[in-house]
Amino acid sequence: MSTITLLTGLAAPLPGSAALSGIDKTPVTHPLTLGPEGFQGDEQADRRVHGGIEKAVHHYPLDHYSDWRAELGDLPALTAPGGFGENISTRGPTEMTVAVGDVFRLGTALIQVSQGRQPCWKLNHRFGVPDMARRVQQTGRTGWYYRVLEPGTVAPGDRLELIDRLAPDWTLRRLWHALYVDRMNLVELEGIAALDVLAEGWRKYAVRRLESRRVEDWSARLDGTA
């Protein structure tokens, strides 16, 4: 079990951009209601690509912050949890150990790992690093999302307790490797396409690659360009 820092944030302008983002999260000191689409008082600016049932809660390991500081220096967004827009910060669980479909008790809520995080260009502005989104994708230090199986109340300092593992072989690291490193491994893609605990959008990536034998263009997501 891992003790959590609980964070939320409101949509605000990104540094150096006219775009709004809810990426700037700060710790809360009181219990929050967790519903099917996220925490009470939390916002996402662009609901087409952020938030929703399959991205109700974002978890980013605090363990990664020291790696980023070693690579990038003591940037303001790396001084405390919340730099990556996470709702939950912990030490211990990482993409190496957490698998798609893992079910956790958090407070009185029940949540399930639905997918990894696909970094977008807003991270570039958040950190003031032009290729930050690409760095996050290339390292696999992406964090992940949960869907809410049972709504409830979550408080700072609650423990994240693993309840069940439905696809333990499919760690988030393995999923990342198949999608972003060994990108046309047909056996892995077939496995992803059939992984019913994985968010439908991610299964569709695998289906499209199997059908087209091509990898999608990530430039718009990562760089904010077509």
Residue closest to 186 by CA, chosen among 167, 171, 208: 208
State pLDDT tens for residues 179-194.
Answer: 999 999 999 999 999 9
Percent with pLDDT over 70 in the chain: 98
State pLDDT tens for residues 131-163.
Answer: 999 999 999 999 999 999 999 999 999 999 999
CA distance linking residue 119 with residue 102, whole number of Å: 21
- The stretches of 85-157 forming alpha helices (DSSP H) are 122-127, 132-139
Output the pTM of the full model.
0.96
CA distance linking residue 22 with residue 76, whole number of Å: 17
CA distance linking residue 135 with residue 133, whole number of Å: 5
